[in-house]
Copies of this chain bind each other. A is one copy, B any other.
Amino acid sequence: MLLKDQSATIDVNMWSVRFNKIRTKTRDICAPLSYEDHVVQPTQEVSPPKWHLGHTTWFFEEFILKAHFPDYRLFNKNFSFVFNSYYETVGERIDRVHRGNITRPGVEEVLQYRDYVDAHIQELLDISEKSESIENLLELGLQHEQQHQELLYYDLKYILGHNPLFPEYLPKEQQNNTTQIPALGFIDIPGGLYRIGFEGAGFSFDNELGRHQVYVHDFQIMDRLVTNGEYFQFIEDGGYTRFTHWLADGWDWVNAQEIKAPLYWKKIDGIWNAYHLKGGMRPLNPAAPVTHLSHYEAYAYARWAGNRLPTEQEWEIAHQVISPEISKHTNLLGRQALEPMPKTGDNIQLIGDVWEWTGSAYLPYPYYKAPEGALGEYNGKFMSNQMVLRGGSFVTPEDHIRPTYRNFFQPELRWAFTGFRLARHI
């Protein structure tokens, strides 16, 4: 990551507070889980929660303590094999698909590992003079941990939501949500030359760096996300059974996987339900944004509706035009509820509900250059066969919600909190 020199303004105490807050948050997310829930990997894209707890800790150990402090003694020399994710530079590691077979170290031992590494990092934080490179690595470690906090929500939802007993993660609170699908508008965005990408103080990932000019043509973009109720009409209209809406790869996927609805939807006694983190299996709210669908499904819906998905450039420009002042106004309601919530007012918001599929492939910006060494493997090597998502979700840490942030997944993946809005040329 080419980190800006933002850390100079953060004093010793602030580092310590922030470090502890973020590290504690990870444990808190896992708190409602049983030991057993921490172990499994029911599908390839899911990692066991225990692995997240260990891997984020290994990241601090490997890239800070081991790399920069010769006297540091590893907690366990075998843990690098267990907790390395995909850094070829760092050496051998367990196959991703076997993560769910590793019962030792157990949850308790992993938590001890966290304590051990945290204590050593704390010593480092207590030193007032830290090199810029250490501060950059600390920052990256925290950003990395926050990315895994979000993945933890995806993964634990998958684990619990595919259990035949459908256990809830947390109980559902009383809520009086509207079920009225909100009115739909399209906003005009004038074409022209814009500048997109990250610049300035604060953290960003390497893939969003390089503020650069792009030209777009006039377009319109929806002022809200597509809802469950609207998506339901697509299903009712035979959306999953008519090839004309689909990309060829998407059609193959629908047929091979026998896809008939978004992930977690289940028709029970004739009524569409969905599994929710709070309250488990519950009836769908037609007014809430649709979520847990693949890029293929978003594309097919858009084509069925006579529109298309916005490009990532259009999305970022729309954000600049519409809501310069609300760029970080995230959806607090969804955060509490751990699910996308219906909009009741007329505030236009592009950010913080669910990750929005764009029509853009994940590719480097002009002048992009991956960093040297292991951290160069962070983003650049994934720039093929994936699609960009923008905006962030209600489980995205707030520091990760910024208009230039580029998330990316293979087009068939659905376990993230994904959704979409439509765009069109006029």
Interface residues in chain A, defined as those with a beta carbon under 8 Å from any beta carbon in chain B: 34-42, 50, 78, 81-82, 86, 88-89, 94, 98, 100-107, 159-160, 162-165, 167, 193, 212-217, 243-244, 246-251, 295-296, 299, 308, 359-361, 363-364, 366-367, 376, 381-385, 411, 425
Contacts and interface: CB of A to CB of B under 8 A. Distances in A.
Contact of A103 (B40, B247, B382, B411): B40
B411 A34 contact: no
30 contacts: A34-B35, A35-B35, A35-B107, A36-B36, A36-B38, A36-B103, A37-B104, A39-B39, A39-B103, A40-B100, A40-B101, A40-B102, A78-B164, A82-B165, A88-B243, A94-B164, A100-B100, A101-B159, A102-B163, A102-B164, A104-B160, A212-B217, A213-B217, A215-B215, A246-B381, A299-B384, A360-B363, A361-B361, A366-B425, A385-B411
Contacts of A98: 42
A383 B363 CA distance: 15
Nearest to A410: B385
Contacts of A243: 88
Contacts of A100: 40, 100-101
A247 B249 CA distance: 21
A12 to B, nearest CB: 36
Contact of A384 (B86, B104, B213, B249): B249
Nearest to A411: B384
Given A214-B215, A367-B425, A382 B101 contact: no
Contacts of A367: 217, 425
B103 A163 contact: yes
Contacts of A251: 88, 381
**What are the 10 closest A-B residue pairs judged by CB atoms, nearest first?**
A361-B361, A42-B101, A35-B35, A215-B215, A36-B103, A88-B243, A248-B381, A37-B103, A247-B384, A36-B106
A34 to B, nearest CB: 5
B217 A366 contact: yes
B104 A36 contact: yes
Nearest to A376: B244
Given A163-B103, A425-B367, A248 B86 contact: yes
Contacts of A246: 381
Nearest to A82: B164
A112 to B, nearest CB: 14
A35 B102 contact: no
Contacts of A94: 164
Contacts of A248: 86, 381-382, 384
Nearest to A102: B163
Nearest to A296: B384
Contacts of A359: 363-364
Contacts of A425: 366-367
A290 B395 CA distance: 48
A280 to B, nearest CB: 11
B42 A105 contact: no
A246 B36 CA distance: 37
Given A35-B36, A411-B385, A162 B213 contact: no
Contacts of A41: 101
A313 to B, nearest CB: 10
Given A36-B50, A42-B98, A361-B361, A163 B104 contact: yes
